[in-house]
Amino acid sequence: MKRLKAILSDVLEIDEDSINDETSPENVETWDSLNGLVLVTELESQFNIKFSMEEVTSVKCVGEIKKALEGHGVVLSE
């Protein structure tokens, strides 16, 4: 989770301590469509995975990002 928080913090320019499973474009001003694409690209690069278009369009919050990553075999330990 620390690695995921670091990526989210870097891309969205927010404090890691403010990130939780409910963090989403609805409550983070900098999480717009462009940063959403940057986030997808960065996650794919950092975790060496490839999201499907369905995953990209259906994920709406950090909790769902974690589930998608775990679905690709990524282990997110604290």
- What distance in Å separates the CA atoms of residue 27 and residue 16, rounded to the nearest whole number? 14
% of the chain surpassing 70 pLDDT: 99
Tell me the pLDDT tens digit for each residue of 12-44. 999 999 999 999 999 999 999 999 999 999 999
- What distance in Å separates the CA atoms of residue 65 and residue 55, rounded to the nearest whole number? 9
pTM of the model: 0.94
Query: What pLDDT does residue 77 have?
Result: 80
| Ordered domains of the chain (ranges, CATH) | 2-71 (1.10.1200.10)
Tell me the pLDDT tens digit for each residue of 36-72. 999 999 999 999 999 999 999 999 999 999 999 999 9
